[in-house]
Structure 1
Amino acid sequence: MVVKVAAVQMRSGVDPVRNAEDMSRLVRDAAARGATYVQTPEMTGMLQRDRKAAREVLRGETDDLIVATARGLAAELGIFLHIGSTAIARDDGKIANRGFLFAPVGTQICTYDKIHMFDVDLDNGESWRESSAYEPGNVSRVVDLPFAKLGLAICYDLRFPQLFRAQAMAGANILTVPASFTKQTGEAHWEILLRARAIENGAFLIAAAQGGVHEDGRETYGNSMIVDPWGKILARAGDDGEEVLVAEIDPDAVGAARKKIPNLKNAREFVLEDIAGRDADPGAGGVAA
């Protein structure tokens, strides 16, 4: 069953109202081009480094503007709409980096809270501590849709292959990685990691990203992609600003790829042994380095 899917690249700012308007325009474009599944990036609703200012506009799931707008768009356009994520105020006072998936009738199928927090210290003094603001999730989700089985992830999750392997073993044939990758890490690793996750799991991968210099001063890498199970890039955006990618995919190609290289079936359990050899005597039968 061939289906058209779309990845919407955005450059979200600090105003949720404007971001919702931009999202609506781009999602409508994707639907007009025939996409029945549309994905937006991580933090679709707002990118704001000033935490005090961010908290002033944060809302709970039932009152969030992006959630309400997405629900209406899905119903109006008759599409599966995947909001890569947006910041949601939790009942316990914490914040969730939460993705949403809506059905073509506007009902909410499920949510996914980002599991892995982006706590890093990069070159040139760039440092991030996502865990200081967000509460991580602890549940991975696979969703059975009419055209495919979808695995949900967000941004930094991409660096944890065990998450995607578990989803593939559970039957996922489309993996998703909506993101707001930094320019520094994106230039180094984004394409390599996306293609690797697709190849090693024999699955399609859809990754809608943020791209460009944002109002809060951060710079994201863009380069949203749709990748096939053989690692071929079917569609790719530029590194700056808005773009809508649309590609036709055939989930049956997943079975063909996994038949050629059945690594999911061929995986074996093993025992890891840690051998103490640092102080070994080369003269006692060992080989000197």
Structure 2
Amino acid sequence: MRVALLQMTSSDSPKDNLAQASKMLREAKSRGADFAFLPEVMNCLSTSRKQQSDVLQHEGEDDTLLSLQKLSSELSIWLLIGSLGLKTDDPDARFANRSFVISDTGEIVARYDKIHMFDVDVTPEETYRESDGYRPGEEAVVAETPFGKIGMTVCYDVRFAKLQRALAQAGAEILTVPAAFSHVTGAAHWEVLLRARAIETGCFVIAPAQTGVHSSSRGHSRRTHGHSMVVSPWGEILADAGVSVGVTLVDVDLSLVHKARRQVPSLQHDREFSGP
């Protein structure tokens, strides 16, 4: 299949972000893409809980989700919505960071709520407490598509190799890692982590990312790393989108999954051990 990575610089305006994504999705289709991949929180990248509360919606009424479903059907293209910030009915009013696989007829094939929350102190000036506004998911998901089985993850999940291994052992041939990666940790860790997860699992890793400085009407602005990537099951970088907004295409041959797993069948070599 031909995949398209849509690298975005989302703002805190869902309407503006939808317009940007829709234009890029049409470009991807015109260039022959079968499956397009969008980054994390593509509908609203914001550090302000007040702004998120004012503009985010519940899944059933979310304008971005409904519009992208309609556009997928119109264009006959499969789509990974890397994730949307969505309201929930949780008593503490925390949001969901939810990823979707959408079919070429506009149907929701699978949904996944990000499990691992980015609660870190990268530098004294750059701290994150994702769990203050978002509640973590609890269920790992493998999506069935005509192109192969997709193990769904989001951003910070990439640091937890047990999750990717479980997805691969459950049949995933592709791991998705939509992200809004910090520019500090991204420069140090992004490529290494993606290549490691591909090598460990024998999966393709498809990682559409946010990039640049994200304008904000409330709260402080954020800067993300970019470098959307496709990594082969052997750990080779097949595409790196750099730091510019745009559409990157790459042809993916799933026979390489089976080749890599024949050469190094480590998914079959787990052993129980005691300690430490």
Bin of the TM-score, shorter chain as denominator length: over 0.9
Q: For 2:75 and 2:273, how far apart are their aligned partners in 1?
A: 49
| 1:224-235 matches, cutoff 5 A | 224-235=228-239
Picking from 263, 272, 275, the partner of 1:272 is: 275
> For each residue in 1:183-207, what CA deviation from the matched residue of structure 2 results, as whole angstroms up to 9, or x when unmatched?
0010010000000000111110000
Does the residue aligned with 2:46 lie in a helix, a strand or coil?
Answer: coil
CA contact (8 A) 2:154 2:178 kept: yes
- The residue number in structure 2 matching 1:238 is 242
1:237 offset after TM fit, Å?
Answer: 0.7
Q: For 2:171 and 2:255, how far apart are their aligned partners in 1?
A: 13
- The residue number in structure 2 matching 1:281 is none
Which 4+ runs in 1 deviate beyond 3 A? none
Q: For 2:51 and 2:176, how far apart are their aligned partners in 1?
A: 30
If the length of structure 2 is used for normalisation, what is the TM-score? 0.96
Q: For 1:265 and 1:152, how far apart are their aligned partners in 2?
A: 21
- The residue number in structure 2 matching 1:109 is 109
Q: Is 1:261 aligned with 2:259?
A: no
Q: What letter is aligned with 1:226? A: V
Q: Is 1:251 aligned with 2:254?
A: yes
- The residue number in structure 2 matching 1:49 is 47
> For each residue in 1:205-238, what CA deviation from the matched residue of structure 2 results, as whole angstroms up to 9, or x when unmatched?
0000000011031100000001100111111111
Identity %: 46
- The residue number in structure 2 matching 1:74 is 72
1:267 offset after TM fit, Å?
Answer: 2.1
Q: Is 1:36 aligned with 2:40?
A: no
Mark the runs of 5 or more structure 2 residues left unpaired by the alignment: none
Q: What letter is aligned with 1:265? A: Q
1:252 offset after TM fit, Å?
Answer: 1.2
1:118 offset after TM fit, Å?
Answer: 0.2
Does the residue aligned with 1:104 lie in a helix, a strand or coil?
Answer: coil
- The residue number in structure 2 matching 1:85 is 83
Q: What letter is aligned with 1:231? A: G
Q: What letter is aligned with 2:204? A: F
Q: For 2:51 and 2:150, how far apart are their aligned partners in 1?
A: 34
| 1:1-289 matches, cutoff 5 A | 3-92=1-90, 93-216=93-216, 217-239=221-243, 241-273=244-276
1:15 offset after TM fit, Å?
Answer: 1.0
Q: What letter is aligned with 1:174? A: I
Q: For 2:100 and 2:256, how far apart are their aligned partners in 1?
A: 26
Q: For 1:125 and 1:147, how far apart are their aligned partners in 2?
A: 43
Count of aligned pairs: 270
CA contact (8 A) 2:101 2:143 kept: no
Q: For 1:70 and 1:30, how far apart are their aligned partners in 2?
A: 14
> For each residue in 1:73-92, what CA deviation from the matched residue of structure 2 results, as whole angstroms up to 9, or x when unmatched?
11011111110001100123
1:12 offset after TM fit, Å?
Answer: 0.1
Does the residue aligned with 1:231 lie in a helix, a strand or coil?
Answer: coil
Q: What letter is aligned with 1:252? A: S
Does the residue aligned with 1:122 lie in a helix, a strand or coil?
Answer: strand
When Rg is computed on C-alpha atoms for both structures, the one with the higher figure is 1
